[in-house]
Structure 1
Amino acid sequence: MGRKVLLFLIVGVLGARYLYIPLPANTEQPWVIMCVETHLKIMSNLMLFAELLGISHYMTSTNFAASFLDTPPTSDENVSVVEATFHNIPVRVYVPKQKTNTLRRGIFYIHGGGYCLGSAGFYNFDHLSRRTAHRLDAVVISTNYRLAPKYHFPAQFEDVYNSLRWFLSEAVLQEYGVDPTRIGVCGDSSGGNSATAVVQQLQHDQDVKVKVKVQALIYPALQTVDFDLPSYRENAHSPILNRWLTLRFMSEYFTTDRSLEKAMTTNQHIPEHAAHLLQFANWSSLLPERFQKGHVYKKPTFGSSTLAKKYPGFLDVRAAPLLADDTQLRGLPQTYVLTCQHDVLRDDGVMYVTRLRNVGVPVTHDHIEDGFHGLISTGLKVGARMENQYINWLSENL
């Protein structure tokens, strides 16, 4: 009996240790977040084990598991939902059922998932698109794109950009009753990266006559040159998206060669000939003091040029839009940026806010002090606040 009790206690302690995650004191619904993180941790470890055994690539099996959270394109009492293709790219279209005699606002939405996971039908992206369409009486186009590890940059960017160009054509806007002067491009996480990049490219595309009025970026990933920002240091082990997973996503965007991930982990992936790009992500000059919190800036150690030659995409502004120079940023549309305090990607968004303001672009920055990455439209209280702030801004500015 004594051995059984001891074994029970050991298993209980190990189980509690696995479940318990230290969270900031201001965290709402901490046990819910712990449970979500525990589920994600178990799934991640299973996928890593499968990869170690040579059964399946980590991202391939993770995306397969995530696909069970996809929802069908089901219409409800407020919004009609259908699937279509824009330039051969699958999209999901949300149109309010309420009758109108005027043209509607248009939202082009790009989902997150590190360029490896997710779809427009993923339950929280679907929920956000429905809520946006209903509350704004807007047509929402939620685009898909090819995913890594099967496809790498620039496939994802090209899919999103071609889908957006298709949407902005006069015939398509007329088909869906969208006002060409009231269009916004939005995205979360890696989708925020794509939203930023396509809007930057769009303003120089002479073949597209319709320009977007606003862009809205939800905890966006914006740069690939420095993974030793204060937010990466402080949130290396944060729930939902930790530093290890972020760098795995980042490297998989460009290659399955794990040497790039290894170099990124030690912040030694930038070749010396790309040193001039560091100024665009130098947090010591671009972060407000409250985000620096006594951290000391350390310039990334220059690595071999071999990786940059093999995978030049990680230095491409279409993959790292924070690296755009000031000339490319001037003239961008009114911008909304939402960042979360407990998020490795926090400082990417904050630095972009600074750079846009420096060149005169009007920016609204909502910073969620008790927020974590990936929680918008998840049913948590903090996620509901994020959703409301995002939609309210669109309502007032689009």
Structure 2
Amino acid sequence: LPLCRDSQLCIKDLHFDEVPVRIYLPRVPSAGNRRGVIFFHGGCGMFGSIRSYERICRNIARKADSVVVSVGYRLSPEYKYPTQTLDCLTATEHFLKTAGNYGVDAARVIVCGDSAGGTFAATVCQELVKRRDLPKIRAQVLIYPFLQALNFNLPSHQQNAFTAFLSRERTVRFILKYLNKDCSMKEAVLAGSHVPESMNLKYRKWINPDLIPEIFKPGYKPPLPSSFLPEVHEETKELLKTRLSPLIAEDAVVCCLPDTCLITCQHDVLRDDGLLYKKRLEDNNVKVNWYHVDDGFH
């Protein structure tokens, strides 16, 4: 939707510390400060925009009677990784510091994102755990997020390998393009050859098909072992860090995360990322509201 007058919302284009944002403020006066929602759009860090998520953000602002901030983070490959995550973090920090200027209660700020936007939301929450100079995020809403790049052979990867929009192969190709890496490494990453055995052993307690409920595993076949390729590992080390794989954050970080709403879809290669993160959060006594769309897809 083009930016135009809205009878229920006051819509402004601003910059939060040089990061472009669009803010949606309900016109009806409120007795007190409202909830704030910071929204990060999807698109693998390469696509999407404030404008393409206009309708969604308007609906959130209207139906939740909340002030919504849609973040126009800069896109790869023009702006190299991790510019996207850092822009999201910068905008969030600014909003937490200035929430009162927009009629928002800084103790009631939620971060929200879909797909890669869900990755950014999860990462921002983890980064802010360390901060004592800012109000705490009240909750995170993760909509079919990408959460790990170690294992592309989980049940959901196999079951939805050829799904039209986001296939297993396309997922890895998008990630490599996002990082501005050679896509010829795609098959090696799909096979898991980018992960050292020591790392596989370390994170098996968190990324393991045995942790997926049986109802989600019909037809699953354990993959054949793959050979570690040091040259691929060297080129793709960023995949194995928490900014791209927030699922592997340490318990000391996860236990401090805010209440979480997690949405997964049955016909989505990323489904099991969400299921595994749900378990990690719950194991660390984080409150999780999980909504699974049985007929949903990415």
**TM-score over 0.5 (shorter chain):** yes
- Residue in 2 aligned with 1:113? 43
- Residue in 2 aligned with 1:82? 12
Q: From the two aligned structures, give the one with the greater strand fraction.
A: 2
Partners of 2:102 and 2:25 lie apart in 1 by: 8
**What letter is aligned with 1:360?**
N
Report the secondary structure of 2:204's partner residue: helix
Partners of 2:129 and 2:290 lie apart in 1 by: 22
1:98 matches 2:40? no
Match of 2:115 among 172, 186, 189: 189
Larger Rg: 1
**What letter is aligned with 1:145?**
Y
Q: What is the root-mean-square deviation of aligned Cα atoms in Å?
A: 1.7
Partners of 1:146 and 1:280 lie apart in 2 by: 35
Partners of 1:119 and 1:296 lie apart in 2 by: 38
Aligned ranges for residues 245-284 of structure 1 at < 5 Å? 245-279=170-204, 281-284=206-209
- Residue in 1 aligned with 2:169? 244
**What letter is aligned with 2:62?**
H
Worse-matched range after superposition: 108-117 or 78-87: 78-87
8 Å Cα contact 2:181-2:235 kept in structure 1: no
Q: Deviations over 1:61-105 (max 9, x none)?
A: xxxxxxxxxx33223111121111111111111111112231010
1:131 matches 2:69? no
1:215 matches 2:140? yes
Q: Which has the higher contact order (CA 8 A, sep 6+)?
A: 2
Report the secondary structure of 2:20's partner residue: strand
8 Å Cα contact 1:308-1:315 kept in structure 2: no
| Alpha-carbon offset, residue 174 of structure 1 | 1.7
| Alpha-carbon offset, residue 222 of structure 1 | 0.4
- Give the unaligned 5+ runs of structure 1: 1-70, 374-398
- Residue in 1 aligned with 2:283? 358
**What letter is aligned with 1:101?**
A
1:167 matches 2:92? no
CA, structure 1 residues 177+280, in 2 after alignment: closer, same or farther (shift >3 Å)? farther
Q: Deviations over 1:110-167 (max 9, x none)?
A: 0000111001210xx2111101101111100010212122233211111111111111
Match of 2:102 among 157, 160, 176: 176
Partners of 1:271 and 1:325 lie apart in 2 by: 18
Q: Deviations over 1:9-46 (max 9, x none)?
A: xxxxxxxxxxxxxxxxxxxxxxxxxxxxxxxxxxxxxx
Aligned ranges for residues 344-355 of structure 1 at < 5 Å? 344-355=269-280
Partners of 1:73 and 1:166 lie apart in 2 by: 23
**What letter is aligned with 2:43?**
G
**What letter is aligned with 2:129?**
Q
8 Å Cα contact 2:143-2:263 kept in structure 1: yes
- Residue in 1 aligned with 2:233? 308
1:202 matches 2:132? no
Instruction: Compute the TM-score of the two structures, normalised by the length of structure 2.
Output: 0.94
Partners of 1:365 and 1:275 lie apart in 2 by: 27
Q: How many positions carry a matched residue from both structures?
A: 298
Instruction: Compute the TM-score of the two structures, normalised by the length of structure 1.
Output: 0.71
1:339 matches 2:269? no
Match of 1:295 among 197, 216, 220: 220
CA, structure 1 residues 363+104, in 2 after alignment: closer, same or farther (shift >3 Å)? same
Report the secondary structure of 1:369's partner residue: strand
- Residue in 1 aligned with 2:74? 146
8 Å Cα contact 2:155-2:209 kept in structure 1: no
- Residue in 1 aligned with 2:85? 157
Worse-matched range after superposition: 256-265 or 154-163: 256-265
Q: Deviations over 1:188-247 (max 9, x none)?
A: 00000110111011011233x211111110001100001111111111111322222211
Identity within the alignment, %: 37
**What letter is aligned with 1:88?**
E
Q: From the two aligned structures, give the one with the greater helix fraction.
A: 1
CA, structure 1 residues 358+248, in 2 after alignment: closer, same or farther (shift >3 Å)? same
| Alpha-carbon offset, residue 260 of structure 1 | 3.2
